[in-house]
């Protein structure tokens, strides 16, 4: 299928622009989450730029995860004719991407006393809780949310791709999605609890996940293109994302950089009730900006080596940053040096875990998936290729 590039020529190469800049975007999200948690418990209180902003990072994680997984699934040579094989390799990749590192981190934190769980909790109970919606403690609450959507994603993608193939279908589905976002905003403003009718039964962050699927299908079916006139999206979307962070809103518009209003119990939830529903539009704009062939400040920032390295270690950083500050704080108290030491130790631990656990597990999962496919009779028209999903 053809797309118009920034130069007006035919651009059929947008998939090649799903590159390491997206790894950097994931790294930026991980940094936001870590610094938000650290600032919430006392890091750099004079400049709380990231305080209460962890949810912003999660919105990027959720949307980006679904978009990239759609790309991985739809790029599988088996997806069109034998989707069950694509789903098989997808499932194996997800299992070995998540569970080995998660299990090791839970085991280590449980063993050294810096775990997320009460001392009376058994190790097996800790593992069970960490995978249960609504019961996983601390930052682990996102794990069952992601796992649940991983179950939905192949189904949503299989329905959305043909539904958006025609221009009318794409416009209709995009309109329904926008209406869903507006409905969530309205009912949350009115105090209605997040019920199943607006969560598809798995979480109120579902619109970010579904937004990633929808953006991918609209681009893949040629309904979203990349003309030169759309280069401004790469500037506006990141700016909108930054302005949505509590510090910017309160410092610049409410003249309260310390965000005193959000100190009340549950106040941050009320703030984000107005942000959550429309997060897919903003994060989708950032993803579109990175896919646009024009050079922008966004694409240059996403080439920063620190962000790329953080993105490569992002899952480990996410899992260990809270246990690390608990470990340092319980022994040495909470102060600037302790927080800096926890940050350094977080990256060091994430790098070690990546080398010893995460990367070998991912590689084993790919080899295992290839082995399973190789044992099945292959269709002459559909070669069994070695899977290489990084996402």
Which pLDDT belongs to residue 253? 85
d(C-alpha 206, C-alpha 137), whole Å:
20
- CA angle in degrees (0–180, nearest 5) for 219-304-226: 20
Residue 15 pLDDT grade (very low, low, confident, very high; cuts 50, 70, 90): very high
pTM (two decimals): 0.92
| 3-class DSSP state of 4 | strand
Per-residue tokens: 10: 């035919």
Closest CA to 236 of 285, 163, 193: 285
Give every CB contact of residue 214 below 8 A, 6+ residues apart in sequence.
160, 164, 173, 174, 177, 280
Residue 208 pLDDT grade (very low, low, confident, very high; cuts 50, 70, 90): very high
pLDDT digits (tens, 9 = 90+) for 319-350: 999 999 999 999 999 999 999 999 999 999 99
């Amino acid at each position: 299928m053809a797309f118009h590039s920034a130069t007006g020529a035919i651009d059929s190469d947008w998939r090649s622009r799903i590159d390491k800049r997206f790894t950097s975007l994931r790294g930026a999200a991980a940094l936001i989450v870590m610094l938000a948690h650290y600032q919430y418990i006392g890091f750099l209180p004079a400049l709380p730029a990231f305080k209460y902003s962890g949810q912003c990072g999660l919105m990027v994680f959720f949307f980006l995860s679904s978009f990239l997984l759609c790309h991985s699934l739809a790029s599988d040579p088996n997806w069109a004719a034998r989707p069950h094989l694509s789903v098989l390799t997808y499932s194996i990749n997800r299992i070995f991407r998540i569970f080995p590192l998660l299990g090791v981190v839970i085991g280590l934190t449980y063993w050294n006393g810096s775990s997320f769980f009460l001392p009376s909790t058994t190790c097996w109970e800790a593992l069970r809780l960490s995978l249960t919606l609504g019961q996983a403690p601390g930052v682990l609450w996102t794990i069952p949310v992601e796992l649940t959507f991983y179950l939905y994603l192949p189904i949503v993608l299989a329905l959305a791709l043909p539904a958006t193939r025609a221009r009318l279908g794409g416009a209709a589905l995009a309109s329904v999605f926008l209406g869903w976002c507006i409905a969530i905003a309205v009912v949350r403003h009115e105090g209605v609890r997040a019920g199943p009718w607006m969560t598809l039964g798995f979480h109120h962050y579902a619109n970010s996940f579904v937004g990633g699927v929808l953006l991918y299908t609209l681009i893949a079916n040629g309904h979203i293109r990349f003309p030169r006139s759309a280069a401004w999206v790469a500037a506006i979307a990141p700016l909108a994302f930054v302005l949505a962070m509590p510090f910017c809103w309160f410092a610049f518009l409410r003249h309260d950089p310390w965000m005193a209003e959000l100190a009340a119990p549950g106040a941050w939830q009320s703030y984000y009730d107005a942000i959550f529903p429309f997060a897919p539009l903003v994060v989708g704009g950032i993803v579109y900006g990175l896919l646009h062939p024009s050079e922008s400040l966004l694409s240059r920032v996403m080439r920063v080596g620190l962000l790329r390295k953080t993105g490569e270690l992002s899952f480990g950083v996410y899992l260990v940053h809270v246990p690390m500050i608990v470990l340092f704080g319980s022994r040495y108290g909470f102060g600037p040096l302790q927080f800096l030491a926890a940050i350094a130790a977080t990256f060091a631990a994430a790098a070690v875990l990546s080398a010893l656990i995460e990367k070998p597990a991912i590689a084993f999962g790919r080899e295992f998936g290839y082995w399973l496919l190789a044992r099945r009779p292959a269709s002459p028209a559909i070669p069994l290729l070695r899977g290489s999903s990084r996402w």
